[in-house]
Amino acid sequence: MNRFAELLDRLAYEPGRNNKLRLLTAYFRETEDPDRGYALAALTDALSFKHAKPGLIRDLIADRTDPVLFALSYDYVGDLSETVALMWPSSPLLPLSPPQPLGGGGRSGGEGSGVGGVSTHATASEFAEAPPTPDPSPPLASLAGGGGKARASRVEKKGHNNPPPPTLAEVVTTLRTLGKTELPKQLTRWLDELDETGRWALLKLVTGAMRIGISARLAKTAAAALGEKDPHDVELMWPGLAPPYLDLFAWLEGRAEQPVNLDPTPFRPVMLAHAIEDADFANLDACDFIAEWKWDGIRVQAVSGRDADGQMQARLYSRSGEDITKSFPDLLPSLHLQESSSLKHDVSRKPLHTFRHHASFAIDGELLVLREGRVQPFNVLQQRLNRKVVSPKLAKEYPIHLRAYDLLGEGDDDLRTLPFAERRQRLEAFVTRLDDPKVDLSPVIPFDSWDALTAARADPAGAGAGEDAEAVEGVMLKRRDALYLPGRPKGQWWKWKRDPHLIDAVLMYAQRGHGKRSSYYSDYTFGVWTTDDGGEQLVPVGKAYFGFTDEELLQIDRFVRRNTTEKFGPVRHVVHAPDRGLVLEVAFEGLARSPRHKSGVAMRFPRINRLRWDKPPREADRLETLERMLKTEVSDQPPLVSGH
């Protein structure tokens, strides 16, 4: 566990991608099975523990420390794992060795020892408000060695007979097998045995909230580098692998053949698009691309295959690989699916469905709701999401539909190695043979120049989208010769979304962020003006925590600290009067009615577009403006009752 803790500690401080790769590859090379496999699983979010939840961690620290001090500390640090790691008192049952000096600065600012630079014996007065100043990261030592605080975890403690810290494999195995009543005692023992860095890593593992600047793609790339393999090969086989990935590492080190995915209905890692900018068009030839509408639904894969007994099975996956088949049973007959009399399960106890289609296939497409042939807005589709039970009434009121835009496999052919233009031809022929009203093609947009496509994007209804124009988010551009590659390869696929809506709103409340933003007020609630019996007042209409630059974050943080009028736990009430306050230009994708909000409206994908220091709050937009936009866009939509 100490080596894993050291790895996380150094990755959290390392800003460079190449250095992160070297650190990860060195760890995978020098760490034995199964610890390195479980580390890879943790970094790719492939581990989950049924009974280990953040609420349990809060209960444990509440039994060991003053709750007021913990609340103040958590507000200051902003990260649960780091706060508990710092505040966890040494067990009175364990002999204490003299404290070891810890190198490096804290993650959250301030002086002292520990993961976040805050003394574990701090008092509430030490958390006085002050704008944070970034601490320098500890210097990068050797790839195999440790730096900063991590060195403290390797200092041999003499004069006691404490048990050695658990290995990562022991921790994972125990978390998976212990019952709900036994887990608190075991976590307490581990927290007593580990040092601050070890406790921090343990709690990161338990909560699943790493937040150390490592993506799943980067971790897989580092593993591939161990055997000088192509990261795409690892991505393609990934859905068929399971922690601790013994067969993967055996292949990477040349000790075994490449693992084969035996799942008859595997998920294919999706290909993603880059957002296109105006300057990009100068380097692109319109003749090289095929354009489609970008639909406002959720991306899915419909996959079928033949098992070892020769029986056909199928699953429906989300874009992240989650099996969502049970949430959309009304789509299965349209894929020629038929429930068997004795429902089978795979090795992970997921239900498999038999069907009578003539061949295996894998469709990449968009899940939508269609009523009387018209695509409904996204908030209508939300009524079908995350449902464990789908009643006949729900299926009838919100009829589901699959709009296909790529064919990844057919029969024994893996079509991902074909150019997109050829895959598109195969898809058109496949959907024609399928001949079902619940499955259709995403239409191609005809254009011969960027000017023509610009005009189509501005007027989807007149460019072929017809009555479905309101459900169009924008345009997708795909190179004719593009292979289907996992991840986000540069220059192959582009997304060109429609221009967002813009309003001027007033900052009302602010809250600290998480991870690297834990010392800054970066989550903002904003409102617009309306009139009631008491006169003019602001009503909240949304919350945003991105869209601004690092420099703008510092400016807003400074404004919040200097203009706080009240505090409600971690939330700050910021001055918002007609002549005093901060106006934010907010961009968003759409509106929906929401009984959960006082304003009666909810925004989709709100973000801060720019700061309007030049505009007094009294000139911000009014709720009536949003009401008019709502009537124009979604006058016939049902209320929004669930989040996305």
The per-residue pLDDT for 128 is 42
**Token pair for residue 236?**
């393609």
Q: Look at 98-102, 195-199, 255-259 and tell me which has the smallest mean pLDDT.
A: 98-102
The per-residue pLDDT for 633 is 59
Contact call for residues 327 and 385 (beta carbons, < 8 A): yes
Mean pLDDT of the chain: 83
CATH 2.40.50.140 fits 501-634, yes or no: yes
Longest dimension (CA), the chain: 81
Closest CA to 149 of 191, 211, 99, 192: 99
Q: What is the pLDDT of residues 309-352, one digit of tens each?
A: 877 788 899 998 889 999 999 998 877 544 444 445 554 445 54
Q: What is the pLDDT of residues 151-174, one digit of tens each?
A: 333 344 444 556 677 899 999 999
The per-residue pLDDT for 594 is 79
Specify the DSSP class assigned to residue 296. S
Q: How confident is the model at residue 98 (pLDDT cuts 50, 70, 90)?
A: very low
The per-residue pLDDT for 71 is 86
Q: Look at 182-186, 378-382, 408-412 and tell me which has the smallest mean pLDDT.
A: 378-382
Burial class of residue 280 (count of CB atoms within 10 Å of its CB; 0-12, 13-18, 19+): middle
The per-residue pLDDT for 129 is 47
Residue 298: how many CB atoms within 10 A of its CB?
17
Contact call for residues 117 and 106 (beta carbons, < 8 A): yes
Residue 78 pLDDT > 70: yes
- Separation of CA 2 from chain center: 27
d(CA 444, CA 478): 11
The per-residue pLDDT for 592 is 80
Question: Rounded to 5 degrees, what are φ and ψ at 595?
Answer: -70, -10
**For residue 244, is the peptide bond before it cis, meaning its omega torsion is within 30 degrees of 0?**
yes
The per-residue pLDDT for 405 is 95
Residue appearing with tokens 């805050």: 118
Residue 208 pLDDT > 90: no
Specify the DSSP class assigned to residue 128. -
**pLDDT (average), residues 141-153:** 39
Q: CA 312, 316, 317, 322: dihedral to nearest 10 degrees? A: -90
Q: What is the pLDDT of residues 487-525, one digit of tens each?
A: 889 999 999 998 888 999 999 999 988 767 777 899 999
Most confident of 308-317, 449-458, 595-604: 449-458
The per-residue pLDDT for 538 is 93
Percent of the chain topping pLDDT 90 = 54
Q: Is 558 left (phi over 0), alpha (psi -120 to 50) or beta?
A: alpha
E strands along 450-554, which residues? 472-479, 493-497, 501-512, 521-532, 535-544
The residues facing 528 across adjacent strands are 539
The per-residue pLDDT for 126 is 41
**For residue 34, is the peptide bond before it cis, meaning its omega torsion is within 30 degrees of 0?**
yes
The CATH architecture of the domain made up of 274-497 is: 2-Layer Sandwich (3.30)
Domain boundaries, the chain: 2-207, 274-497, 501-634
d(CA 554, CA 560): 10
SS3 291: strand
d(CA 26, CA 143): 6
Q: Look at 17-31, 105-119, 360-374, 446-460 and tell me which has the smallest mean pLDDT.
A: 105-119
Q: What is the pLDDT of residues 255-272, one digit of tens each?
A: 999 998 888 888 999 999
- Separation of CA 178 from chain center: 28
Task: Decide which of 585 and 236 is more confident.
Answer: 585
Question: What is the sign of the dihedral through the CA atoms of 5, 7, 8 and 9?
Answer: positive
Residue appearing with tokens 């290909």: 271
Task: Decide which of 360 and 40 is more confident.
Answer: 40
Question: Rounded to 5 degrees, what are φ and ψ at 616?
Answer: -75, 150
The per-residue pLDDT for 260 is 86
Residue appearing with tokens 């003499």: 158
Most confident of 259-263, 530-534, 575-579: 575-579
**pLDDT (average), residues 19-45:** 95
Report pTM: 0.72
**Token pair for residue 407?**
């064919």
SS3 413: strand
Residue 624: how many CB atoms within 10 A of its CB?
12
Closest CA to 86 of 134, 118, 124: 118
Q: Matching CATH topology for 274-497 and 501-634?
A: no
Q: How confident is the model at residue 113 (pLDDT cuts 50, 70, 90)?
A: very low
Residue 15 pLDDT > 90: no
State the amino acid at position 639 in one-letter form. P
Active-site residues: which are they?
294
d(CA 83, CA 640): 36
Residue appearing with tokens 């300057």: 279
